[in-house]
Structure 1
Amino acid sequence: MKRTSGALGIAVVGLGVGQHHLDALAALAALYEVRAVCDLDEGRLAATARRLGTKAMALRHLDDVLADPSVDIVALCTPPHLHLAQIRQVLAAGKHVVCEKPLVGSLDELAQLRLALAQGEAQVFPVFQSRFGEGLRQLKHLQACGFARHALVATIETHWRRGAEYYATAWRGRWATERGGVCLTQAIHAHDMLTHVLGPVHTVSAQLATRVNDIEVEDCLAAALRMADGSLASLSATLGATSNRSRLRFLFADLSVESASANPYRPAQGPWRFEAATPAIEAQLHEALAALPPAREGFERLFELIHASLRNGSPPPVTLDEAEAALSLVTAIYASAAADGAPIALPLPATDPARTDWRPAGGGFAKSLA
């Protein structure tokens, strides 16, 4: 196995969202050394190489990245339809993987990934960096302290704006390459935060539509969920908002919690609003939160925890089971919408065809453009 103490050699493949990975890695120079960057776009590759100086090789092919013995871990920031094959390729080379969402394109693909992992010692780290924010960390801390245990309802909103310029990138907006729309690409982060707080989903009833852009995949979503603990949640997402906003609101028997971040892409960061049911609970909340030490957020925290996991065996920041929970919810949303909102229970049966392919049989959902 590669070294698991000191700085790890890392390569970033795909220099779109990969730029955010590089920014985080620059802040963690004691933990990671960027050995290579890789992209098929020569202009983007050259610009990134200039930004990094002489610290990293600029390569155009994954094979060249994997041939470098100084690379311990590869961050895959490539289009979704490439993920499974590329993860397998990296694992076969004996290197660890950090993979952007969606980790893979179906639950069956995730099962195949688990089999590939069993063949060696390298690990896969799914990316859900948005859950690492001060506000959400405070809520999780309060739950660990005994608060926010009896959930009532939650509302999760992902209201962003994406137009023709965004979808000019060839792989976006297509089932074969993006694998889904707002449900899979944009709202998956907020939905991950929902299950991170409330636990597993029991049933899903959803409706999807394409009302903003002339694309194959959906860009509007509404869903009602019953969680395994009996609480209820509503999901709302669109790519046709006039501005980008995200909001998470959780109501428990003892307190109400609402995200208040002005950054739509980092709703988990502070400040969050915590409203206690009584003055006594309010005082206890303040005392509990005062004991919480500061921590990094976003990609920096994700990569910091990945390094700690590889170095000393601490739990990974996001587990494969958590990635499976996110993909299961995606699958159930698509299955319910394809059945005109019929409730779908989780976990899905092993023989359910949606586990192999969540794409709608008709090629898309109701389309009605302005």
Structure 2
Amino acid sequence: MKRIQLAIVGCGWAGDIHMEGLRPLADRFTVRACVDTSAERRAEFALRHDIPIQAETLAEVLAMSEIDVVVICTPPVLHHPMAIEALNAGKHVICEKPLTSSMELVDDIRAAESRSIGRVMPIFQYRFGNGAEKVRSAIASGAAGKHFATTVEIARTRGAKYYEQAWRGKFATELGGLWVTQAIHIHDLLYSLIGPAVAVASFNDTRVNPIEVEDCGVACLKMSDGSLVSVGATLGSVKQQTRIRMCFENVTFERLVNHETERIADDPWIVLPRSDEAKREIDAAMDVETSRFSYFSRQYELFHQALSSGTPFPVTLDDARASIELVTALYLSARNGSTVNLPISKKQDEYRGWAVR
């Protein structure tokens, strides 16, 4: 298959992270164009990444026959309209998180995809960490046994400088706070490892920054297999760390990272088997051949394979919809002080989003 021609839409930090992930895949992808409303920002981005074409609007690159895929790295409020516009133009779409602000709008994107020759891949790079892939293999094999409970601590630092960009910290433009930004990747990672939740109870608050969205939250999830998950998250930590502890019948998996130097889903995870026999089975299940790539690079590698073979993308609209449903439940529970049972039906007001009153 020829090199896939990409256009990066949004020349901020997210665009830079995508370019870093694409760098080792230069034999498979070419970033042909970049798009940003700021002439200065797109010029600096193009120079930094040696991109030949600059454009002010998405429509300009959608008119280019050589562009195969648009990669949406804009503020979240623009994700839905840009994805629809790109699909209507017959382009494939890769879109940053959160995909959009409601299950209804996810379904709207799905409908547009069904009418288009283009397809959509949401970005959830954590599930492609090389350590997480080994843990997933052990769980899927049955070697880990029954899942009992998982605890997650997300301790990040976001201060005034982070919110200097006017779109941040607002429901209208960022679509939410830590539940849709810093925590959403961990939630997707958990879903990819142990499946979806069937009940959600949560609290959130704004305690760190003078913003309108939440920057602290706690949640309890009951998973579809009956097991339990607790999540605590803040943007007011002195040190940026995330910890996961997953307790199974035959093993406990642990990972604690300093975000300045490590990534939560990469190796090495601590593996604590319950017995020598369990260790042998778990070691065998985790002894899988993994790609030399991880995170963004691995997701892009699998995206290329899917386009080449016509198979489903490694992350689908179903995955994004499940993520948006969980976020909806987190906000609904915190607002009403109640446990929210999943799935959320199309008849419920919250199907139209967590900002619905």
Q: Where on the TM-score scale, by shorter chain, does this alignment land: which range? A: over 0.9
Q: Distance in 2 between matches of 1:291 and 1:203?
A: 33
Q: How far did 1:132 drift?
A: 1.1
Question: Of residues 114, 129, 132 in structure 1, which corresponds to 2:128?
Answer: 132
| Alpha-carbon distance between aligned partners in 1 of 2:64 and 2:23, rounded to the nearest angstrom | 21
Is the CA contact (8 Å cut-off) linking 2:240 and 2:258 kept in structure 1? no
Which amino acid is the alignment partner of residue 283 of structure 2?
Answer: H
Partner of 1:365: none
Q: 1:173 aligns with which of 160, 169, 173?
A: 169
Determine whether 1:256 maps to 2:252: yes
Contact 1:156 1:191 in 2 (8 A): no
Contact kept? 2:122, 2:315, Cα under 8 Å: yes
Taking the aligned partners of 1:63 and 1:333, their CA distance within structure 2 comes to: 35
1:182 corresponding residue in structure 2: 178
1:227 aligned to 2:227? no
Aligned counterpart, 1:288: 285
Moved over 6 A (4+): none
Aligned-partner Cα distance in 1 for 2:216–2:292: 34
- 1:73–1:97 Cα contact (<8 Å) kept: yes
Instruction: Look up the match of 1:46.
Output: 43
Q: 2:112 aligns with which of 113, 116, 127?
A: 116
From 150, 153, 156, the equivalent of 2:152 is 156
Query: Which of residues 289, 294, 298 in structure 1 aligns to 2:295?
Result: 298
In the alignment, does 2:351 pair up with 1:355?
Answer: yes
**1:51 match: secondary structure:** helix
Residue 78 of structure 2 corresponds to 82
Letter of the 1:356 counterpart: R
**Aligned partners of 1:222, 1:188: CA distance in 2, in Å?**
13
Distance 2:271 2:287 in 1: 14
Amino acid at match of 1:76: I
Deviations 1:100-158 (A, max 9, x none): 00111101111111111111221000000122111111111112332224100011221
**Contact 1:334 1:360 (8 Å CA) reproduced:** no
Report the CA distance between 1:290 and its aligned residue.
3.2
Report the CA distance between 1:291 and its aligned residue.
4.0
SS of residue paired to 1:27: helix
CA RMSD, 1 decimal: 1.4
Which of 336, 339, 352 pairs up with 1:339? 336
State the distance in 2 between where 1:87 and 1:318 align.
Answer: 16
Q: Does 1:25 align with 2:22?
A: yes
Q: Shift of the alpha carbon at 1:294?
A: 4.1
Letter in 2 for 1:7: R
Letter in 2 for 1:211: R
Deviations 1:180-202 (A, max 9, x none): 00011110000111111110101
Name the counterpart of 1:147. 143
- Residues in 1 aligned to 2:293 and 2:347: alpha-carbon distance in whole angstroms: 42
Q: Does 1:276 align with 2:276?
A: no
Asked whether the 8 Å contact 1:260–1:270 carries over to 2, the reply is no
In the alignment, is residue 62 of structure 1 matched against residue 65 of structure 2?
A: no
Task: Write the deviation string for residues 254-311 of structure 1: whole angstroms up to 9, x where unpaired.
Answer: 1000114433672101110111010111123223333434431011001111111111
Q: Within 2, Cα distance between the matches of 1:223 and 1:123?
A: 33
- TM-score, normalised on structure 1? 0.93
Matched residue, 2:11: 15
Aligned equivalent of 2:200:
204
- 2:242·2:256 contact (CA, 8 Å) conserved in 1? no
Q: Which runs of 5+ in 2 are unaligned?
A: none
Rounded Cα–Cα distance in structure 1 between residues aligned with 2:226 and 2:93: 36
